[in-house]
Amino acid sequence: MAIYAIADLHLDTSQTKPMDVFGPEWRNHAEKIARNWNEKVDRDDIVLIPGDISWAMKLEEAVPDLAWIGGLPGRKILIRGNHDFWWGGIQKVRKSLPNDMYALQNDCLVLDHLCFAGTRGWTLPHHPSYKPEDDEPILRREIVRLELSLKAAVKEAKPILCLMHYPPVDGEHPDSPFHKLLVEYGVRVCVYGHLHGPAHRFAFNGQLDGIHYQLVSSDYLHFKPWQLPDGWLLPWS
């Protein structure tokens, strides 16, 4: 069993939101993802998808995109991204998922000998676009949601992997309220997305205070699922 991650699929089976407006590398990106996914991922593997899954506005519109993901090999774990407007009540979302697909929200999931937690996250206070009057209430809510998920996860006494959509840290400001929580609850690995194109330069990839961080937005990965190195989770509990 291997663990992979890829965020920001930005699927649109309705073909109303062509992604190549964001650059030629996005042309036919879903086909690239499917081809690379099928080459790498086996049926029993786990694939983490940290948000921005579908451009759909309503859950029923997202169902074809979720089915597309469900047709690919592996067991998939999803969290919400900032563009996942279709993601409403969590129970309705979960009922709409194909087999072997799981959605996290304020809780955790145990698969095999591992525990998965996470939340969307939000813009960090040091970011130039951060406006306290608008962003602070959302940031505080996401901190609460992350802690709810981690509190559930730590009870499982298994290695914890965290999914976030927004970067929990960046290369210039590694300290953040999200990072503090991840350290407090003993998270081993955190994968995140959201950064595209020129924003890739703000990514933090590497180990900080015992946590391995990795940017997995699909264009950063050249639309190839990233495989978690075995050594990042040793020793196994």
Mean pLDDT of 52-61: 96
DSSP 205-216: -EEETTEEEEE-
Predicted confidence at residue 72, as pLDDT, reads 98
pTM recorded for the entire structure: 0.95
Assess whether pLDDT exceeds 70 at residue 236.
no
Q: Which of 76, 110, 114 lies closest to 94 in space, CA to CA?
A: 76
Number of neighbouring beta carbons within 10 Å of residue 146: 25
Mean pLDDT of 41-53: 97
Predicted confidence at residue 235, as pLDDT, reads 59
Give the rounded distance of the alpha carbon of 96 from its chain centre: 19
* pLDDT one-digit tens code per residue, 163-201: 999 999 987 777 799 999 999 999 999 999 999 999 899
Predicted confidence at residue 237, as pLDDT, reads 40
Domains of the chain: which residue ranges? 3-227
Residue 231 identity: G
DSSP 79: E
Mean pLDDT of 75-101: 97
Mean pLDDT of 71-78: 98
To which CATH superfamily is domain 3-227 assigned? Metallo-dependent phosphatases (3.60.21.10)
**Distance, CA of 102 to CA of 74 (rounded, Å):** 12
**Distance, CA of 235 to CA of 233 (rounded, Å):** 6
Mean pLDDT of 134-150: 96
